[in-house]
Structure 1
Amino acid sequence: MNANFETHDLGTPGLDKAGPLDGFEYSSFRNPGIVMQPERLAAFQPSRISASRALIAQMIRERWSFRCKRFSIARDGLGEALYEVEARGYVFSFPIYSFRPSKEGRTGRIIGTAWDMMGAMVEGRLSDADFAATRRELPKLYRGRATPLTLTWFRANRSGRVFDRCVEALAKGQQPEPEMLWKAGYTMRNTGLDGNGTFGTRSFVTLEKDHPLRWALSAQMLSAYMMRVFAADLVDHFAQLDGGDQAVTLAPGLRRYLGVGNGSALGLMYFVNNRPKLVNRWIWIREKSIARAKMLDVAAEPALLDRLADGLDRLATFRAEDMTEYGRYPKSGDVAQELQAIAAEVRVLKSRLHAAGAAPLAAFSAALEGRYSDHAVESCLSALIDLVPEYAQAQVQSLVVDEEVTGTPEMTVGQLRKVLGTEYGWCWQIDLQSTEANHFIWYKSRNAEEPRRGPRKDIDAKHGLGLDLPRLVLTLDAALAGVPADTSIARFLVAHPDLRQITTRVQSLAGMTYHSPHANIMAADFVPAHITKCLNSGLHGLDKTVDSLDRVIRGILFQGAPLPEEVMAGTACADWSAPPRSESIKQEESLA
């Protein structure tokens, strides 16, 4: 492959087509050549830009209401429930169908055929006919069809041991052991959440401009939140059936601590490839929020540094108490020590503000690089975003993305080569020639309906999913090099129809420099878990994201998040993330 390093640089952040720069200079944004490295993406941490945290912030700000309209479930698990959520004048119905637990066909993957619960989110108040139709269609899954105005279908399984022990304790009039709940983090785990056209659900791009769930991933996050609500209600319900008058309900402090379990694997690599505009837009608004925080005038408002240091202390405590084994990623205790050291540096910065230059947080953040791990630095950047909560929330509301890719046939060959040279320079700077660099091929499993990767020697290339971005870019550039620079792309594609897809992709994403990981995902040493962890931890907002086999990431959503009744009463805590282990224990002791 051509290694023309002189004319292909790492790229600089270009103009985001989705919105203005808000007065920021390009220099305020981090170089995509650093940010888009897989190892750095894996270090992204939950923040106010994460979908789960942004949804809770919106719930609190807008005082959403939650009601259980029906709850009829037998002790064996068979039955149904119905919830309604009102948000900004919109009503959403959540029909829930509960089943008897079964080991046969039970799996955390999308190929499962048996679940402990299935549910849907439907706009408006659900009619009896649509409730029955949804109950009939949901178990069919890929053969089923959603009713009109359905936004999502979802399914989940109980965490058997923890779920059962909670029920046993509550039935006896006791609270479950806080330490057990701290270690587990959930009593039900998500096994599938689909929408945006799947199964006939409503496409999100058709949502009205004032729709409260118009921004990307908000509908999925609300569905996951309602899984959490149902799981806790089911625990209380079974305890009452077993214990009668002596049964108690789960204490608010413990209930708040329980989130929803979640696991993701290779499918998220396919998501990144198919949703480049969403990936770009999310990382872009994250970088904008970080840049805004770095520009804060902390000399005029030194209390901001106290908030930053306190936020780092909170994260350090959360990490120090977390005994989870993270595989290839840094030990939580090590990150905790780094965060404590960074918090101490923040306090030193406050004491020396008189000698600090302009934008001291920008210089402070830059000075962290190389002295602390990527995970600690990204944790600090997440804490920085907490200093601009209103700005961050406004950015999330702008996360409305049309993923359609369209070509520009009038563009010239010379113009397209310039885009390749400035925005895809990394493709020339990685090994694509060695045997190890071409070890894997990505394909779709016929049985599992999931993306897979396997040794190229074992799989026919015709089954490949076309995810080989760097090689496609170099192939395109080589073909363009043999054509006069003033030739139109329309004429070029007449002669090279096989390059239409990569050409259209490059044209559609021109100027968006945070859309694709800078990686050769076919290489033997590529770690898919890096990308999965970025999406689960950074984009979705999962905590305790554990790597398994370098390709599966498991974690917890909404651990510590406010309860529906707190949101409705206006007593919900906006700073709920990273709850300390001792908090749930203290709350339980106060109830004893």
Structure 2
Amino acid sequence: MDDGAALTLRPAAVVMDLDRLGMMQPSRLSFMRTLVRRMVREAWRITEVCFALDDEGYGEAIYCLEAGPETYHFVVFSKPLEDALRNDRVISNQWDLTMALVRGQLSDDQLDQLRRNVPLQEAGRMDENVLVLSRANRSARSFAEVVARLATGQQPDVERLKVAGYLCRTTAVYGSGKFGMAGWHVVKTSCRSFRTPFSGEMFTCYMLRHFSCRQVEHIARRQSPGTAVTIAPEIERYIGIGNATGLGMAPFLIRHPVLISHWMIQREIALARILNQTDCDAPKRYALQSMLRRVVQHLQETTVTADYQTSRNQILIAACLALIAKLSRRAFCAGLTSGGWKVLLSFVEDHYGPAAEELVQVLLFELYPHLVDPLEESMAAEERLDLDSGMTLVELLVLLETHYDWALNIDFDDPNHHALFWYRSEEKMEPRLGDRACDAGAEREMPLLIALGVRQCFDAMQRFLADNPDSLVVDFLIAHPDQLATVRRVQTMCALPYGDIRGNLSDRNLEPMHLLRAKLSFFGVGKFDPKSKLWVRNTMFQGAPIIADLSQDLNPDHWYFPTAPVL
């Protein structure tokens, strides 16, 4: 297998453009997809240890995961919650469900500690045996309705599930050492099953999905033992987990440039490998047409509230239909046979735009699993920014001019280019965007403006070089210690060009949703439904294999762009 150095990768100016990042789609390398593949490949065994719920579905449940030689437990607590107290904000302190993923065997003492602390979430005390902490609320649209239908012997209404394809919606999923839990260094070395980024968090959401289905079935049986039915497997697969995400996710992309670079470069290596293939034969073209039809149906079954997102989905549907027709034309296919997939992607971008191109790229991934899937093991990275203090300052200046020209081209003297600031709300405990012209709090600005930092560092270097032309980086930093973070970032990221987002996060016309979509695409979420420019609802694991499927000989990847079952 090749390495990235032997391939022609797309330039960072294209890949890391903020607008294009907002067009990213889930792929075979998304964390939900890689988790499900591992679960099937390694024959993970999940068994119910305890299911102690009352007539209303309140109580606790415990599931044991046996993944090779490793054992884990998923523990979930269900408590009554008044409708008026149910909301998705980080500042909430009561939820329908709270849960934890725990490594190893579960003793009575450990379970008692979890009972006391997991329902408290951030206010509780965890230990290094806990890998993930999460909470969720029932869907106001789906939960009670599905219970009622099951109780009367009916299956859930698939048409309704197209609108809200989940029973519960997670409002936070915590891992990586927060609140006393096991740190990432412990997880990646001691928990082989969850050694890739966010796999423990994704498994927790997968188990929440399973529990939510068992919970509604249980309540239905208690309501009407004589008529209640269980959820049909084909419908259960279509039920996912809801998620609400706001600006809290955005700072991660800025604060972890090394990790983001690793994520992006694996996608780019996968794409480059595929573009080197010359087998654009009829079977692969037919498969691509079939996938495009699937995308069309998926988008037609996706309900969103924002007009601009509806418009984007309609434009993408039109592009898919046009490309399906093109792939049936002999002359067009002859060009693909001679020119390969590069010809196709170039045509798609020229005629249908970059959003369609990003979509077709991830569909091509499905045609070459042997070229893509091995890259999932390279998604982890140590977040470390190194300093070369012995570099000449002139060399550093050249690096800035070469690799950060996009930042230096921004005119921060224009008030519209320096209009917004990021801060953390003490009341809401979440990142927020403020307007410098009218909002207080700019003095508490979060250090997320990489482009502005580069501009300020560059200007300071030029002034310093005027008097010290032969100086080293160390000389500059002694005089300007406030520039240390920027210098370390620049020196490190020049070798990792896919780590810095090429956009101005203080621009008045900033679209924060682009940041959220980029990260969520790596998670693998679907049904992207922006509720404003600042937060979005989406669906996780819709269409994925259910626990009963894991022991079967099945394709663990046939759930991309899920479509409603036909009963």
How does the TM-score come out when normalised to structure 1? Answer: 0.90
Bigger shift: 194-203 or 428-437? 428-437
Bigger shift: 312-321 or 266-275?
Answer: 312-321
Q: What do residues 480-500 of structure 1 show as CA deviations (whole Å, max 9, x unaligned)? A: 222246432222211111111
- Give the alignment partner of residue 256 of structure 1, picking from 237, 249, 257: 237
Q: 2:196 aligns with which of 185, 203, 215?
A: 215
Following superposition, the deviation at residue 235 of structure 1 comes to 0.7
Which residue is equivalent to 2:77? Answer: 97
CA–CA distance in 2 between the matches of 1:125 and 1:111?
32
Structure 1 residue 328: Cα displacement: 2.5
Residue pairs, 1:16-415, within 5 angstroms: 21-22=3-4, 24-25=6-7, 28-206=8-186, 207-208=188-189, 211-298=192-279, 302-329=282-309, 330-348=311-329, 352-353=333-334, 356-358=337-339, 360-415=340-395
Q: Secondary structure at the match of 1:95?
A: strand
Q: Distance in 2 between matches of 1:127 and 1:422?
A: 58
Q: Residues 212 and 317 from structure 1, CA distance in 2 versus in 1: closer, same or farther, beyond 3 angstroms?
A: same
Cα distance change on mapping 1:354 and 1:447 into 2, 3 Å: closer
8 Å CA contact 2:407, 2:455 repeated in 1? yes
**Counterpart Cα distance in 1 of 2:392 and 2:261:** 25
For residues 62 and 447 of structure 1, what CA distance do their matches in structure 2 show? 45
Change (3 A) 1:551 1:148: same
Equivalent position amino acid for 1:253 in 2: E
Measured after TM superposition, the shift of residue 161 of structure 1 is: 3.3
**Is the contact made by 1:294 and 1:384 (CA closer than 8 Å) also made in structure 2?**
no
1:460-514 CA-to-partner distances (Å, cap 9, x unmatched) read 4320111111111011111222224643222221111111111122223221112
Which 10-residue stretch deviates more, 236-245 or 572-581?
572-581
Amino acid at match of 1:565: A
Specify the alignment match of 1:576 in structure 2. Answer: 559
State the Cα distance separating 1:526 from its structure 2 match: 0.7
Q: Which moved more, 1:312-321 or 1:544-553?
A: 312-321
- Unaligned 5+ runs, structure 2: none
Separation (CA, whole Å) in 2 of partners of 1:422 and 1:450 = 35
8 Å Cα contact 2:335/2:343 also seen in 1: no
| Other-structure match for 1:497 | 481
Is 1:464 paired with 2:445?
A: yes
Q: Tell me how many residue pairs correspond in the alignment.
A: 561
Answer whether contact 2:423 2:441 (CA < 8 A) is retained.
no
1:514 to 482, 498, 506: 498
Give SS of 2:223's match: helix
Tell me what 2:518 maps to: 534
CA shift at 1:228, angstroms?
A: 0.4
Change (3 A) 1:347 1:294: farther
Following TM superposition, by how much is the alpha carbon of 1:355 offset from its aligned partner in structure 2, in angstroms? 8.0
C-alpha spacing 1:310/1:520, structure 2 compared with 1 (3 Å): same
Could you list the runs of 4 or more consecutive aligned residues of structure 1 that deviate by over 6 angstroms after TM superposition?
A: none
Which of 428, 445, 453 is equivalent to 1:448? 428
Partner residue, 1:476: 457
Distance in 2 separating the partners of 1:219 and 1:504:
31
| Cα gap change, 1:96 to 1:572, in 2 (>3 Å) | farther
Note closer, same or farther for the CA distance 1:83–1:347 as it changes in structure 2 (3 Å cut). same
Supply the AA of the counterpart residue of 1:456: R
AA in 2 matched with 1:307: A
Percent pairwise identity? 28
How far residue 276 of structure 1 moved from its aligned partner, in angstroms, is: 1.4
Label 1:75 to 1:209 Cα distance change in 2 as closer, same or farther (>3 A): closer
CA distance in 2, matches of 1:48, 1:75: 41
Deviation at residue 364 of structure 1 after TM alignment: 1.8
**1-side partners of 2:535 and 2:481: how far apart?**
37
* Cα 1:346–1:21 shift into 2, 3 Å: farther
Distance 1:430 1:23 in 2: 31
Alignment partners' CA distance in 1, 2:470 and 2:283: 57
Alpha-carbon separation, structure 1, partners of 2:217 and 2:35: 25
Asked if structure 1 preserves the Cα contact closer than 8 Å seen for 2:28 and 2:372, the reply is yes
Counterpart position of 1:547: 530
**1:506-526 Cα deviation digits (max 9, x unpaired):** 223221112122111112111
Separation in structure 2 between the aligned mates of residue 344 and residue 423 of structure 1, nearest angstrom: 41
What is the alpha-carbon root mean square deviation over aligned residues?
A: 2.1
Query: How far apart are residue 349 of structure 1 and its match?
Result: 6.7
* Other-structure match for 1:12: none
Q: Give the SS at the match of 2:194.
A: coil
The CA deviation string for residues 304-363 of structure 1, in whole angstroms up to 9 with x for no partner, is 2322222222212222343434432334233122112223333447974488435x1112
TM-superposed deviation, 1:572: 5.2
Contact 1:130 1:147 in 2 (8 A): no
* Alignment partner of 2:548 out of 559, 565, 580: 565
Q: Kindly tell me: are residues 487 and 513 of structure 1, through their superposed partners in 2, closer, same or farther at Cα, counting changes over 3 Å?
A: same
